[in-house]
């Protein structure tokens, strides 16, 4: 990785930044403190406009999806972004004003619909409150006359005419009144009460003691008239909302234009964000950043072709970002690595090793030739037909390689959609053949040869762990930490090899047993003598002895690889169960229909469950068992200044 500074004429800034963004060769970095004579340019106001337009387009697309969902196929998620010719960007820019106005219209219409909906709720609430007053033939907010005080309201209890008359009289026998109950029920009484104006204060005191309250919806019209007006308004709001929805649906045909416009403003926002990070003088500007060493000459030629410029370059320091570079076989596994952590400069890139063991272990866990062939063929068709983007293509290639491994492991285990060939042959012929009899090569049956496969799984685990420790040995040796390489890693590697030889000796000859025991004992002595080397006095011996406890950790790690057998066994057994269920309904037409349905649904379930399980457990073996032996991570992944668009990609110039 090289650290570069590009000095160019300020008048060429727009053109040069566009070409660098299009090439995706350079990661631009911000200068914490400007050098003397250099300043920054504040383009935050323009950025806010672009980001606001991006948000406006995004909201408009969400609204269109709500009222007029885009029709997509089941496999549409695999489709790549739409390719746009560089010359079309100018057309998109010229039409952006119109499209933004359309987005504003969509957002305003949606806001109008939301406002109408909120008003509908208020109207419905008012109608429910007016319902108990429908028989009232005077307005609810009827005022007092010169001679009569008017009280229209509610009491928090149910009263009949006689009960209400009695309770008011009991409160104040001197009060003269007339009343009419409009509604009584549900612990509520709605009434109208008249009293001489001279006794208004007396009536207020009585009603207050009874819990009197005025209606929440006072109106200068009678309740029936008010309710009718509210219902008419509700109908008008509903009609208005329906019209707004129809207009939104009619604008759905502009969806693609909105998408490309959103990407256009997203690209511009990214570019202006970079401008904020540049150093400027009156006549020149400076771009600081990182470029992979192999791309430096490309960047230099691009800059010199676009602008009059000067480029400074130096070797990057340890805090520089890391760009992974792997061949076609290993590259799909880079996403698995970066999910864990990008490598630091002190690390090695373990992607090739990760890729090999990931494919290998996934296939051993999924272990069905039929499933593997389906994965390879289906992914191949998707790659050919849909031409997905780089990241999606990489993920699909990962599973395609896993499919190849699954196919070969399936042949080893004698599993082709479980025992489907044998089960179907026996179903229609009445024979009693097994997969071992059908296949012309020797196979390992996970059910019958479980112990053998357990030993094989742990042996593969030992190789996996030793490879991880070998990486640690190499890193220590590269850093000239020879003591760490030989004593902390080498001795443990030899001890594990000694244990392996010892185990082989138990099953074969005493000579191998003695050789393995001798290697293990010698390494144990070496560990006791060296692991406390950084301590003083008795601590040297205690530290050395305590280090032997780590052998339990290695044993635990090795036992983790038994999941290779467990997952492989699960896949095969589930497939056989579905095959057995499918052949339980006879050979007639109905039985054949049920057989086809059960086979398709059952194997689809088996693929979904066990492919996911194989993926997760394979990652666990990489992250926990191998990476823990050598990999530190913590590096910063190289993120070039590029066209981070969601819907379009610029066609590359040939």
Helix 450-478 and helix 491-507, axial crossing angle in degrees, nearest 10: 160
Output the pLDDT for position 498. 92
What's the CA gap between 356 and 327, in Å, rounded? 12
Q: How confident is the model at residue 539 (pLDDT cuts 50, 70, 90)?
A: low
DSSP H helices in 479-588 = 482-483, 491-507, 510-530, 538-547, 551-560, 562-582
Contact 637, 342 (CB under 8 A): yes
Q: Which residue has the tokens 């509604």?
A: 183
338 close to 461: Cβ distance less than 8 angstroms: no
- Quick one: what percent of the chain has pLDDT higher than 70? 98
User: Which of 644, 78, 139, 638 has the alpha carbon at shortest distance from 400?
Assistant: 78
Please report the pLDDT score of residue 156 as a whole number.
92
Is the pLDDT score of 653 beyond 60? no
Flag whether the pTM goes above 0.85.
no
Beta-strand pair 27-28/284-291: antiparallel
| Class of residue 187 by CB neighbours under 10 A (exposed 0-12, middle 13-18, buried 19+) | exposed
Band (73; pLDDT cuts 50, 70, 90): low
pLDDT at residue 407 in the model: 96
- Answer yes or no: are the C-beta atoms of 587 and 427 closer than 8 Å: yes
291 strand-pairing partners: 2
- Spatial separation of the C-alpha atoms in residues 349 and 633, rounded to whole Å: 10
Q: What is the pLDDT of residues 453-466, one digit of tens each?
A: 999 999 999 999 99
At 249-299, the pLDDT tens digits run 999 999 999 999 999 999 889 888 888 888 888 889 999 999 999 999 999
177 membership: H or E segment, kind and range: none
Instruction: Give the pLDDT of residue 82.
Output: 79
pLDDT 10s digits, 291-341: 999 999 999 999 989 888 889 888 888 788 988 889 999 999 999 999 998
Under DSSP, is residue 215 helix (H, G, I), strand (E, B) or coil?
coil
Residue that has been written with the tokens 């593997």 in this structure:
372
Residue in this structure with the two tokens 């050598």, named with its chain if needed: 630
Task: Collect all residues with Cβ–Cβ distance below 8 Å to 17 and sequence separation of at least 6.
Answer: 271, 274, 275, 287
Strand pairing partners for 149? 195
CB 401 within 8 A of CB 361: no
Least Cα distance to 602 among 625, 623, 579 occurs for 579
Q: Which CATH number fits domain 141-214: 3.30.450.20, 3.30.70.2750, 2.60.40.420, 1.10.287.130?
A: 3.30.70.2750
Task: Using the CB atoms, write b or e for 327-341: b if 16+ within 10 Å.
Answer: eeebbbbbebbbeeb
Q: Compute CA distances 527 → 93, 470, 478, 523, whole Å.
A: 69, 17, 22, 6
């Amino acid at each position: 990785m090289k650290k570069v500074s590009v000095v160019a004429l300020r008048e060429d800034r727009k053109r040069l930044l566009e070409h660098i963004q299009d090439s995706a060769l350079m990661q631009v970095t911000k200068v914490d403190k400007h050098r003397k004579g250099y300043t920054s340019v504040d383009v935050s106001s323009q950025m806010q406009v672009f980001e606001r337009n991006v948000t406006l387009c995004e909201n408009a697309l969400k609204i269109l999806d709500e009222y007029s969902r885009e029709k997509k196929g089941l496999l549409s998620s695999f489709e790549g972004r739409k390719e746009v010719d560089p010359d079309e960007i100018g057309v998109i820019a010229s039409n952006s004003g119109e499209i933004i106005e359309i987005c504003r219209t969509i957002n305003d219409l949606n806001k109008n619909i939301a406002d109408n909906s909120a008003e509908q709720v208020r109207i419905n609430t008012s109608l429910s409150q007016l319902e108990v007053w429908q028989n009232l033939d005077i307005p609810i907010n009827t005022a007092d006359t010169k001679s009569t005080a008017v009280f229209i309201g509610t009491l928090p209890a149910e009263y009949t005419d006689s009960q209400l008359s009695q309770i008011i009289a009991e409160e104040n026998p001197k009060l003269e009144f007339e009343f009419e109950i409009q509604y009584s029920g549900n612990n509520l009484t709605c009434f109208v009460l008249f009293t001489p104006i001279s006794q208004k204060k007396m009536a207020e005191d009585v009603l207050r003691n009874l819990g009197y309250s005025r209606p929440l919806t006072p109106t200068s019209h009678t309740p029936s008239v008010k309710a009718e007006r509210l219902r008419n308004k509700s109908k008008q709001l509903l009609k208005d909302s329906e019209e707004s929805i129809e207009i939104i649906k009619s604008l759905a045909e502009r969806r693609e234009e909105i998408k490309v416009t959103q990407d256009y403003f997203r690209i511009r926002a990214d570019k202006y964000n970079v401008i904020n990070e540049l150093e400027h003088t009156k006549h020149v500007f400076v771009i600081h950043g990182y470029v992979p060493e192999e791309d430096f000459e490309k960047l230099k030629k691009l800059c010199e072709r676009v602008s009059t410029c000067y480029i400074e370059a130096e070797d990057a320091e340890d805090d520089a970002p890391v760009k992974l570079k792997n061949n076609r076989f290993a590259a799909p596994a880079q996403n698995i690595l970066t999910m864990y952590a990008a490598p630091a400069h002190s690390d090695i890139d373990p992607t090739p090793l990760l890729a090999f063991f990931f494919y290998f272990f996934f296939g051993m866990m999924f272990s069905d030739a039929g499933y593997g062939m389906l994965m390879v063929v289906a992914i191949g068709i998707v790659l050919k037909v849909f031409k997905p983007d780089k990241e999606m293509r990489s993920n699909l290639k990962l599973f395609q390689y896993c499919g190849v491994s699954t196919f070969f492991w399936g042949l080893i285990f004698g599993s082709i959609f479980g025992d489907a060939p044998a089960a179907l042959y026996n179903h229609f012929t009445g024979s009693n053949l097994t997969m071992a009899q059908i296949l012309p090569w020797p196979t390992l049956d996970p059910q019958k040869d479980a112990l053998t496969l357990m030993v094989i799984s742990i042996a593969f685990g030992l190789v996996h762990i030793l490879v991880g420790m070998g990486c640690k040995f190499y890193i220590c040796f590269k850093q000239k930490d020879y003591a760490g390489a030989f004593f902390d890693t080498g001795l443990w590697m030899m001890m594990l090899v000694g244990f392996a030889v010892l185990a082989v000796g138990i099953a074969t000859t005493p000579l191998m047993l003695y050789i393995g025991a001798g290697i293990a004992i010698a390494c144990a002595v070496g560990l006791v003598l060296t692991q406390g080397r950084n301590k003083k006095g008795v601590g040297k011996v205690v530290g050395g002895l305590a280090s032997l406890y780590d052998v339990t950790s290695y044993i635990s790690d090795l036992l983790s690889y038994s999941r290779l057998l467990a997952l492989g066994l699960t896949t095969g057994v589930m497939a056989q169960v579905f095959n057995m269920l499918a052949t339980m309904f006879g050979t007639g037409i109905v039985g054949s229909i049920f057989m086809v349905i059960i086979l398709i649904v059952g194997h689809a379930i088996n693929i979904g469950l066990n492919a996911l399980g194989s993926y997760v457990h394979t990652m666990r073996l990489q992250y926990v068992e191998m990476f823990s032996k050598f990999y530190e991570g913590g590096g910063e992944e190289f993120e070039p200044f590029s066209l981070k668009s969601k819907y379009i990609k610029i066609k590359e110039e040939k």
